A and B are shown apart, each in its own frame.
Chain A
Amino acid sequence: MAENRIRVDARGIACPGPITELVKAYRNAKNGDIIEVMATDPGFKPDVEAWIKRTGNQLLEFREEGGTYVAVIKVTAKK
């Protein structure tokens, strides 16, 4: 089965917008889904790292592309 990829565009939204958008997407996701969040707020990196650490989901990749931060997350921790 193809993995379900959920894209969240939170570019141009100030902190805490990107993390709240991620949480919104997470609510509707299932274990195994991939959430890809794009954000421009520099506060997004520490927030997403803390979110991963606390919730136990998996951060597959965090990259910066010309001022946009992209976090690729695999949902694994839902009970």
Chain B
Amino acid sequence: MKRRVVIIGGGSGGAILANNLPLEDFEVTVVDRSPYHYYWPWLLYVAFRGSRRPMKREIRSLLKPGVNFIQSGAQSVDLNNRKVVLENGKTLDYDYLVVATGSRPTYGLIGGHEKAVEKYGDYHSTIENAERVWKTVNSLKQGTFAIVVGGDPYRCPPSPLEGVFLAEEFFRSRGLRDRVKVVFAVPYPRPYPAEPMNEVVEPLLKERGVEYITFFTLDRIEEDRKVAVSMEGEELKYDALVVVPPHVGTDMKISPEDVLTTDRFIQADKFTNNIKGFDDAFVIGDASAVPVAKTGVTAHLQAGVVARRLQGEDARNNGRTNCPFDLGYGLGTFVISDYNNPVVKLPPSRFSHLAKIAFAAAYWDMVRYPELWNPIFEAYFEATEPAKLSKIYV
């Protein structure tokens, strides 16, 4: 008899996992509140390049024929009794559950945050908000443009600095660079949180005249005075402000509740993605509290591991990251690390930038046809193992 797999979430993790499971052995059901799967990294180019390239597709069109799709949010999950109650009133029983609900921005932690997003936009939430950033950068002719990291975690560790680099390039290309100051503020000790990558990007910030403020823990935004205020009372004056919103985990009710952290991420084994205490339930991608970057690549790799585990293999995550990082002016790098190796000091190159753009172009095909892309990715990940690269880029 086929084993029933319920996957909650049809984003990168959920869709890739569903398409990797052999349907002769599994009855696979994907559940998602939205009919669409979004390629979130493209928000960056909507915000800072005014891209109109479509960045969403119907989930149904990305799943293999034979995979069931139910468009409904999941209201609650009962891990002890293997039940998922959907918002449409249906109850699903499962043999295996995979939670892939992602993470979502929250605006309640920082005073005045919501108002600031309404006015200036952001590029971690919706297409509309990213379009608002594009309007913001286009309307600023002089003054200070600030990007502030509002708190941890957030999707895509390079994204705050990618925004800074693309904004700086944008203002320079418009001939406004001597009139618009670009400022970046973060709550951690250096512009990029991991030291080796910081050694790659900090010189670029200096070279391009971007000001940065470290240890700035954003407390509130006072739009009437146009200042962002830190918890210690330090003030950052701005004319336009984009805040990278802190993210929280799932909004589903889960029992037992102690699998959740205080910010609603699901605790799991970092090697197998098994939800704490359950060998028939997994969490992959951003929804998990596993200490890895919240990026599509992580979700993709974890989906592969869980697919193999469901088929009886003893597959394990190695914590690999591979985050493309746009440095502006046609340059890029990648943030590459794993559980055993710190981030590689990969220098800026045109090739890395092209690889990021090529990946975006291939994305939908990659989700839909894992049988064609898996061998390519396996070869790529093997060739770019951090242990190997760190010997070259020291």
Contacts and interface: CB of A to CB of B under 8 A. Distances in A.
A27 B215 contact: no
A32 interface: no
A56 to B, nearest CB: 6
B189 A47 contact: yes
A77 interface: yes
Contacts of B153: 20
A23 interface: yes
Contact of B152 (A24, A51, A56, A78): A24
A68 B195 CA distance: 20
Interface residues of B, number: 20
B188 interface: yes
B342 A55 contact: no
A55 B178 CA distance: 31
Interface string A9-46: 00011111101110110110000000000000001000
A23 B152 contact: yes
Contacts of B263: 24
B296 interface: no
B385 to A, nearest CB: 16
A58 B289 CA distance: 29
A12 B289 CA distance: 13
Place the interface of chain A in its size category: 20 to 34
Contact of A54 (B195, B215, B291, B342): B215
Contacts of B233: 79
Nearest to A46: B189
Contact of B194 (A16, A24, A56): A16
A26 B217 contact: yes
A50 interface: yes
A13 B293 CA distance: 11
B232 interface: yes
Interface string B346-371: 00000000000000000000000000
A16 B291 contact: no
B151 interface: yes
B342 A13 contact: no
Contacts of A51: 189, 215
A16 B232 contact: no
Nearest to B339: A14
B211 to A, nearest CB: 16
A27 B214 contact: no
Interface in A51-67: 51, 54-56
B232 A50 contact: no
Interface in B53-82: none
B109 interface: yes
B217 A15 contact: no
Nearest to B110: A27
B278 to A, nearest CB: 21
Contact of B188 (A14, A20, A56, A77): A20
B340 to A, nearest CB: 10
B22 interface: no
B277 interface: no
Given A50-B215, A56-B232, A79-B233, A27 B188 contact: no
A63 to B, nearest CB: 21
Nearest to A52: B215
Interface of B: 109, 151-153, 187-189, 193-195, 214-215, 217, 231-233, 263, 291, 337, 342
Given A16-B194, A24-B263, A51-B189, 16 more contacts: A12-B291, A13-B291, A14-B291, A15-B195, A16-B195, A19-B188, A19-B189, A20-B153, A21-B152, A23-B151, A26-B217, A27-B151, A55-B217, A55-B231, A55-B232, A56-B232
Shortest 5 CB-CB contacts between residues of A and residues of B: A79-B233, A16-B193, A54-B215, A20-B152, A13-B291
